[in-house]
Structure 1
Amino acid sequence: MASRQAACEACRKAKLACDHEQPVCSRCRSSKGICIYRTAPFKRRRVEKPSDVSSPDPSSPTFTPRRNPYPNPGYLGSSSHAAIFKHITTDGEPSTGVHTGVSESPTPQWIGDNYLLLQGADVLRHLLKAYPLSAMKELVLFWLSKGANLALAEPFVAQCAESVSKLFASNDENWHLVYARRLLHNSAQPLQFHQSMDLSEFSTQFMEQNCRWETIGIFFAAVSRATIDIPFFPSLYTSDEDQYNLRRLATKLCDFALEISLSLDCLNDLQLIIQYENFIVHSYVDGDESYHSWRKLGDVISSTFAMGYHENLEAKPGIPRFLMELRKSAFARIYSADKNIAIFLGRPPRMNKRFCHFQIPSCQTNSQPDNDIILTNNHLNQNVWHPDSKPGYRADSRWSALCAFLKEEVWELLQDKQDKACVEKASKIQLNAEEQWRALPAHFRLESSLKQCARTPFGRDFLAHVRLQHLHVLFLLRLLLLNTLTEPDIPIIETAGQMLSIVVEVILLRDQIINSGTGLVWKVAYYGLPAAGIILLALLKQHTTTATSISRTKLLRDLSVFVAEVQMGTIVRLGDPNYALLSKATQTIQRFLDSFNSDNVPAAGSEPQGHHEEGNDDWAALLSQDLWDFEAGFWQSLADHPALLAVDPPLPGV
């Protein structure tokens, strides 16, 4: 007598015959549905007594974590033993080094961490009970329709949203554990590729039936990011508190999805993508100064090295073109993030270009479909751009990495500032920066006011960020050449004025722009604060601006708008992660603006009193001499300027 077989969950719910094929029955395969078989389909669920909390539910999956005694080593470089032994085979013949077309991560010998898995499943159950999955999918799709996306996971976000929305068809108690086990099984499979594979074929390995924890992570990273850009979505949240709760839950589930994936010790491209996007999510949720975000970036960099993506990717055979470009985009974004965060926090960068093969992605063009790539990289001159290049995340990755390369050179000069050749080297960097700017397609260069640009919201933000990146390189160069922060010269004042002007325009046009790679708060903190700091130092020193292209009146107007927008809460509000940094800086700017119209500051060109001059000298000695420090320490020191001490600080909210 044939043993009784249980139907899959999809057929059982629909009351249709199931042919019991595993892992996917014929009906689910043809309908592209999610095929899940229960662990104990014919075992009745025992009702537990309140005191009996230790007995497991028989329908829940059980796990026996068994750690791999031979961990995946990842990429092994030229100084390792592998560099010698890879040339030796068992028969004594040299190895041919033929690429198998399979991700080099070994198949794991254990199936996951029980604790992490149960936590992830519990968060998943809580989230799906609190918020409808279909509404979260609609939120992501609405966010995508506005032109926004995840910068690195861009090709997969819409597919991930569709796949995840079909995944959880049952809300029965403890079914979150069954689905979690299915996701774990899929996540343990290596991602395969061959040279003729396209993006669609590659994606089938982690979509629909093959959904992985990485797929879940990408989706909920998109949910978290969408809650930042979309302030009101009635089917999910109508208040700030509900919006915040959804963001935190989505971020937590993204964290667990990533940790479960990493615990399998099976590095792959999808894991690196979700690691990067998870770091970006935390920079929004925890703040750009958060140690948590800093550690997340370090993890992404570690994975980049472990996968060997700091090496020449084009030298590795058997990689399809789309995957090559995806890996180059990953390297470019992670490399530029390392430099920008290091400068912002005043810490050493962790990806040294001396130990990396610098590589940037190619460009898409306006005349080509999104999946077609125009190869424009020139190994001798990476400044080459296709004249019809399309504004997008790939172009932003390319430009950001080019600017980050120059920023690293400036950083290295800072360590050797006493070198006699420092000025000459700085001049060469400036020439390279100007050459990079001229090499850009004409429609990438912001040559007028931002509000005069007839572009899409994404395109307008893209133009602003491209220009800010270029100005920031020049700003850092001129900052490097200053003898002291308290004596800014005309070139750096002009550069700071241009940076501040663009940041103020971005603030005022915030409802008409879409994040093209960096958010509004980052632009304000990373570009706006250093620019405002230099302008304040210049005005406090009573520098005349007749020799500059920016009038004193415009500088004061931009500072006033900058302060007003922050104090009104249109950029950050009390409780937001970057509130402390921005509020402290704007309080100092406000005190200066108040003192400017008072009798406490001498008129321009007048000689200061002796005691005032002595006070200035004392203050200059106390001001932080770290030329890269524009965080809390700089603003606190600036607030102690003698010209501002006599002015009462403004009342809160004024």
Structure 2
Amino acid sequence: MASRRAACEACRKAKIACDHQQPVCGRCQNNKGVCIYRTTPFKRKRIEKPSNLPSPDPSPSFTPRRNPYPNPGYLGPSSHAAIFKHITTEGDHSTGAQPGNPEALNPQWIGDNHLLLQGADVLRHLITTYPLTAMKELVMFWLAKGANLALAESFVAQCAESVSQLFTLNDENWHLVYARRLLHNSAQPLRITQSMDLAEFSSQFMDHNCRWETIAIFFAAVSRATIDIPFFPLLYTAEEAQYILRRLATKLSDFALEISLSLDCLNDLQLIVQYENFIVHSYVDGDESYHSWRKLGDVISSTFAMGYHENLEMKPGIPGFLMELRKSAFARIYSADKNIAIFLGRPPRMNKRFCHFQIPSCQTSINVWDPDSKPGYRADTRWSALCAFLKEEVWELLQDKQDAGCAARASAIQQKAEEQWRALPAHFRIESSLKKCTQTPFDRDFLAHVRLQHLHVLFLLRLLLLNTLTEPDIPIIETAGQMLALVVEIILLRDQLTNSGTGLIWKVAYYGLPAAGIILLALLKQHTSTAGSIPRTKILRDLSVFVAEVQIGTIVRPGDPNYALLSKATQTIQRFLDSFHSDAAPGSGLEPQGHHEEGSDDWAALLSQDLWDYEAGFWQSLADHPALLAVDPPLPRV
């Protein structure tokens, strides 16, 4: 007599016949759902007498044991592997699974039990609090505006569709059942063949093959969407509800990533998730947050561990789409390292001397562009990496500033920057006002960021060549004036722009603050021509708009990331503007050049000489300028 065969959970709950195919039955295969078979389908539940002690949460049926043979990842030419690979002993030709191979390990042995339980609990809380279909609609609405996750761009819509169809909540312990299935899927290696296309690759982590990485990408997109979409009635209508959803989505994305990493089998999908998770934290925690800084360090470590700092073209059997994806990953992580290092005044962690510089869509020379290239995340990735390469050269030059050939080397870097700008497709170069551009919101934001990146390279070069920070020269004042004017335009047109790779707050803090600082120093020093070709009235107007938009809370509010930095800087700028427009007595510091209040030389000596430091220390020092002390008490030191 044939033994009874249990239906899968989806068929059982739908009360329809199941064909019992494993691992996925025919109905689930057609519906692209998750097919789960219970381990003890016919076992009756024992009715326990109530106890005074609370019963622990049921845990997934796997042993919390780490992989005893960790995956070493990429091993370079100085490692023992480079030596031993040339030594082949007789009979050592086994092609079977080795202890260090994740395929040879029972996935139930891998991972951290508490991580899985926490991830399952957050999953349950989030999905029972907010409708899953509404979160999918939020992401799809965000995508329709032209925004996306820069590196995971190709997978976000599919992830949203797959996750929205993934869960059935009929069982009390559904979250633990699905957490175990997601863990099982995440432990499977991603298969790669040279003939594979993007659809075949992504099918390994979509629909019934969903992994924790799929969950992480979807909820990273949910978190990002709540930042760009202030009002979405299906989920939130007030800031508090918007903030709560953002935090929960970020938390679940964190747990999903940590569970994936605990399996100790790095792959392309995990690296993408790590990068997008770092970007989410830069938005949620701020660019000065240690959490963001650590997340960036983690994704850099994974880049090296996977060997993506080596020449990817030399690795055989990689399909074209995946090669482009890996180059994009390297380029975005490389440029993020340089930009964050400059913003925080810390050393970069990816040295180009130990990396093979590679960017997407590069067939011959890095400066050769397809004239028909369109604005997009890949173009932004390529341009940002090219500018980051020059910024690293400026950084290296800073270490050798006393060298006699410093000026010549700086001139060579500037020439490279100008060549890169001229090599861009003509429709990528914005030379006039942003408001005159008639492109889509995404394209306008893209053009503005391309221009800001180029101006920033020139700004850093001219900043490097200053004898002292308190004596800005005409070239750097002109560059700063152009940067500030463009940032102010972006602020005023923010509702007509779509994030093309960097958010508004980053543009204001990274480009706007340094530019405003240099212009303030120039005005305090009363340069006869102030900013060369830029009228003083325009500079004062730009500074006034910059301050007003921050102070009224249209850009950043108390409690938001980077609020402390922006508010401190704008307070100093506002005090300068008040002093400039007041009828203060002589000694305000605004008299013709050569008239200085007693003590101003002492201030100049105390002003931070770190040319890369535009954080609170710079603005606190500037606030102590004698011209501003007469207007208002100095800012409190923190």
TM-score (norm 1): 0.93
Letter in 2 for 1:244: Y
Which stretch shows the higher mean deviation, 392-401 or 64-73?
A: 64-73
Aligned to 2:363: 377
Aligned to 2:460: 476
Which structure 1 residue ranges, 5 or more long, are not aligned?
363-375
Task: Report if aligned partners of 1:111, 1:184 keep a CA contact under 8 Å in 2.
Answer: no
Q: CA deviation at 1:472?
A: 0.3
Cα distance in 2 for partners of 1:416, 1:53 equals 66
Residues 264-320 of structure 1, C-alpha deviation per residue, up to 9 Å, x if partnerless? 000000000000000000000000000010000000000000000000000000000
Task: Report if aligned partners of 1:544, 1:604 keep a CA contact under 8 Å in 2.
Answer: no
Cα distance in 2 for partners of 1:344, 1:386 equals 32
Cα distance in 2 for partners of 1:310, 1:350 equals 12
Letter in 2 for 1:53: P
Cα distance in 2 for partners of 1:426, 1:234 equals 53
The alignment status of 1:51 with 2:52, answered yes or no, reads: yes
Task: Report if aligned partners of 1:107, 1:266 keep a CA contact under 8 Å in 2.
Answer: no
Cα distance in 2 for partners of 1:82, 1:575 equals 50
Task: Report if aligned partners of 2:590, 2:627 keep a CA contact under 8 Å in 1.
Answer: no
- Secondary structure of the residue that 2:349 maps to in structure 1? coil
Letter in 1 for 2:592: G
> Structure 1 residues 48, 21: CA separation in 2 closer, same or farther (over 3 Å shift)?
farther
1:29-428 equivalences under 5 Å are 29-42=29-42, 43-44=44-45, 46=47, 49=50, 51-54=52-55, 57=58, 61-91=60-90, 108-109=105-106, 110-362=109-361, 376-378=362-364, 381-428=365-412
Q: CA deviation at 1:577?
A: 1.4
Task: Report if aligned partners of 1:413, 1:422 keep a CA contact under 8 Å in 2.
Answer: yes
Cα distance in 1 for partners of 2:206, 2:530 equals 62
> Structure 1 residues 66, 544: CA separation in 2 closer, same or farther (over 3 Å shift)?
same
Which stretch shows the higher mean deviation, 570-579 or 3-12?
A: 3-12
Aligned to 2:592: 605
Q: CA deviation at 1:547?
A: 6.6
Task: Report if aligned partners of 1:590, 1:650 keep a CA contact under 8 Å in 2.
Answer: no
Q: CA deviation at 1:15?
A: 1.5
CA RMSD, 1 decimal = 2.0
1:497-508 equivalences under 5 Å are 497-508=481-492
The alignment status of 1:442 with 2:429, answered yes or no, reads: no
Aligned to 2:630: 646
The alignment status of 1:533 with 2:520, answered yes or no, reads: no
Q: CA deviation at 1:172?
A: 2.2
Letter in 1 for 2:269: L
- Secondary structure of the residue that 1:251 maps to in structure 2? helix
Letter in 2 for 1:344: F
> Structure 1 residues 271, 547: CA separation in 2 closer, same or farther (over 3 Å shift)?
closer
Letter in 2 for 1:161: A
Cα distance in 2 for partners of 1:232, 1:47 equals 48
Cα distance in 1 for partners of 2:423, 2:310 equals 26
Which structure 2 residue ranges, 5 or more long, are not aligned?
none
Give the paired residue count.
626
Cα distance in 2 for partners of 1:546, 1:620 equals 19
Q: CA deviation at 1:5?
A: 2.6
Cα distance in 2 for partners of 1:488, 1:48 equals 80
TM-score (norm 2): 0.95
> Structure 1 residues 106, 12: CA separation in 2 closer, same or farther (over 3 Å shift)?
closer
Aligned to 1:22: 22
Letter in 2 for 1:543: H
Task: Report if aligned partners of 2:407, 2:465 keep a CA contact under 8 Å in 1.
Answer: yes
Q: CA deviation at 1:2?
A: 3.5
Cα distance in 1 for partners of 2:348, 2:279 equals 17
Cα distance in 2 for partners of 1:212, 1:607 equals 68
Cα distance in 1 for partners of 2:104, 2:379 equals 35
Q: CA deviation at 1:549?
A: 1.4
Cα distance in 2 for partners of 1:341, 1:626 equals 16
Letter in 2 for 1:608: H
Task: Report if aligned partners of 1:148, 1:458 keep a CA contact under 8 Å in 2.
Answer: yes
Cα distance in 1 for partners of 2:336, 2:258 equals 21
Cα distance in 2 for partners of 1:20, 1:603 equals 85
Residues 96-147 of structure 1, C-alpha deviation per residue, up to 9 Å, x if partnerless? xx9x9xx987655533211100000000000011100000000000000000
Task: Report if aligned partners of 1:587, 1:649 keep a CA contact under 8 Å in 2.
Answer: no
> Structure 1 residues 343, 55: CA separation in 2 closer, same or farther (over 3 Å shift)?
closer
Task: Report if aligned partners of 1:111, 1:185 keep a CA contact under 8 Å in 2.
Answer: no
Task: Report if aligned partners of 1:74, 1:306 keep a CA contact under 8 Å in 2.
Answer: yes
Cα distance in 2 for partners of 1:158, 1:589 equals 43
Which stretch shows the higher mean deviation, 427-436 or 40-49?
A: 40-49
Letter in 2 for 1:314: E
- Secondary structure of the residue that 2:269 maps to in structure 1? helix
- Secondary structure of the residue that 1:167 maps to in structure 2? coil
Task: Report if aligned partners of 1:591, 1:650 keep a CA contact under 8 Å in 2.
Answer: no
> Structure 1 residues 567, 546: CA separation in 2 closer, same or farther (over 3 Å shift)?
closer
Q: CA deviation at 1:46?
A: 4.2
Task: Report if aligned partners of 2:624, 2:634 keep a CA contact under 8 Å in 1.
Answer: no
Letter in 1 for 2:321: F
Task: Report if aligned partners of 1:458, 1:516 keep a CA contact under 8 Å in 2.
Answer: yes
Q: CA deviation at 1:41?
A: 3.1
Letter in 2 for 1:282: H
Cα distance in 2 for partners of 1:27, 1:607 equals 85
Aligned to 1:372: none
Letter in 2 for 1:402: L
